[in-house]
Amino acid sequence: MNENPSPQRAESAHPHSAVDSPSLLSSILRGAIGFTLLSIAGFAPWVLAGRYFYRSIGEAGLYAVCAVVFIALSAPLLHRLLRGRRTFWRFYKIFGLAFAGYSVAWTVGWMLIGGHTGSLVGLLAGSVVMAIVLTAFFRAWPKLLPVIAILFIANAAGYFIGGWIEGEIGGLRNLDVVRDLISRGTLSTVGKTLWGVFYGLGFGAGLGASFHLLQRDFDDATGILSGSHSTR
């Protein structure tokens, strides 16, 4: 009896081969596009009803509402970042926990310190929490530090570029020609929405790159990194 399976059998035994694994560029584009759409929706409670939520449930409550929107719509827009089958509900499982932890860490950093420093601390803490959840899911602990770096740099770039653009657009209200053509509320809506767009582009690109890195050596059949001596 031949104990060595043929190449065809070996390939069929591991249906999630490199053939169906997206490239790095594809993963980055999927993440950037999908998370930008997700970010626009996730920012919507702040953009459209921020004052109402501030008055009724407070600042932390508003952030919680935004986080729920991010998580609820994540799988329809991003589940293809996972390779293999039945990715929809698997993505909810991993991203729901990762983004919930990220949101709590960012909110604590922002509310305790405030300003740009608080945002930076929150983004770093959130990126660390998210990276830990993702690497734990793929059992890819050697990749933890690179994933933290990718998530933090991409996340911070999108967040601060978007915030700068929102501030610049808000400053246009001081120009008479702009004030006569566009209402204050419209400028605010446009600025906040663009913040969400750039936040989504940055964070999404980092998320796509992170998923690609974490799955590059991941064996779907065994659930461990290729070459790892870990056992289930």
Give CA torsion, residues 91, 92, 98, 100, to 10 deg: 160
In a domain, 41, yes or no: yes
Residue 20 phi, psi dihedral angles, 5° rounding: -100, 15
How many structural domains is the chain composed of?
Answer: 1
Tokens 């809506």: give the residue: 189
Percent of the chain with pLDDT over 70: 80
Q: Tell me whether residue 9 is in a domain.
A: no
pLDDT for residue 136: 96
Residue 102: give the domain boundaries: 23-218
81 alpha carbon, distance to own chain's centre: 11
Q: Is the pLDDT confidence value at 228 over 70?
A: no
Could you read off the pLDDT of 44-54 as tens digits, one per residue?
A: 999 999 999 99
Domain annotation covers residue 166 = yes
Q: Quick check: helix, strand or coil at residue 16?
A: coil
Domain assignment present for 14: no
Residue 232 within any structural domain of the chain: no
Q: Is residue 184 part of a domain?
A: yes
Q: Which residues of 45-79 are buried (b: 16+ CB within 10 A; e: fewer)?
A: bbbeebeebeeeeeeeebbbbbbebbbeebbebbb
Cβ atoms within 10 Å of 226's Cβ, excluding its own = 9
- pTM here? 0.82
pLDDT in tens, 52-111: 999 999 999 999 999 999 999 999 999 999 998 889 999 999 999 999 999 999 999 988
Give the separation between CA 132 and CA 119, rounded to whole angstroms. 20
